[in-house]
């Protein structure tokens, strides 16, 4: 979620992608799966493409809003931070389940997990929003 706090539009999205790819590399190591960076990038892109009508537009909008002087960063941060947390959570959950069942990068079919990914994304949104609210409550006035 921290990558969503980067104040430069689109650099934040690059950082988020890097974090997610590193997560896939670490998960593949944990499950003894050979990591393939190109396949990882392609699979992340495929899964995120399913969120375009729902969540990705909000995430991209959050990044674009940061480019508006003065008020942009304030308006863009909340939606992008939640989007970052939710997509990373959903990707992690989907790949953990896939690897745990013996799957590899070569056997992963994004179309087959589309609905499950969207449910995990919604769960990730709830968790990210709760974490964001908790952090706000911890900040002294």
Q: Is residue 50 part of a domain?
A: yes
Higher pLDDT, 40 or 129: 40
In a domain, 76, yes or no: yes
**Residue-number span of the structural domain to which 68 is assigned:** 2-136
Whether the model pTM is above 0.95:
no
Residues 25, 34: Cα–Cα separation, whole Å: 9
In a domain, 141, yes or no: no
Predicted local distance difference test score (pLDDT) of residue 13? 62
Radius of gyration from C-alpha coordinates of the chain: 16
User: Which of the 8 DSSP states describes residue 55?
Assistant: I
Q: Is residue 103 part of a domain?
A: yes
Non-local (6+) Cβ contacts of 123 within 8 A are: 89, 90, 93
Q: Residue 113: CA atoms inside 13 Å, Cβ hemisphere, count?
A: 23
The 10s digit of each residue's pLDDT in 19-71 is: 899 999 999 999 999 999 999 999 988 888 877 555 444 444 444 444 444 43
Q: Which two tokens stand for residue 16?
A: 């988020």
Domain count along the chain: 1
In a domain, 98, yes or no: yes
């Amino acid at each position: 979620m921290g990558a969503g706090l980067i104040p430069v539009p689109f650099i934040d999205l690059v950082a988020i992608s890097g974090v997610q790819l590193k997560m896939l590399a670490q998960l593949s190591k944990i499950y003894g799966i050979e990591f393939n960076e190109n396949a990882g990038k392609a699979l992340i892109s495929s899964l995120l493409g399913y969120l375009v009508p729902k969540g990705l537009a909000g995430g991209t909008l959050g990044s674009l809003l940061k480019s508006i002087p003065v008020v942009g960063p304030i308006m863009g941060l909340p939606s992008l931070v939640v989007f970052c947390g939710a997509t990373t959570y959903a990707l992690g959950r989907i790949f953990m389940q896939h690897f745990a069942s013996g799957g590899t990068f070569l056997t992963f079919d994004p179309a087959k997990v589309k609905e499950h990914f969207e449910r995990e994304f919604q769960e990730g949104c709830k968790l990210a929003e709760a974490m964001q609210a908790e952090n706000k409550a911890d900040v002294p006035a």
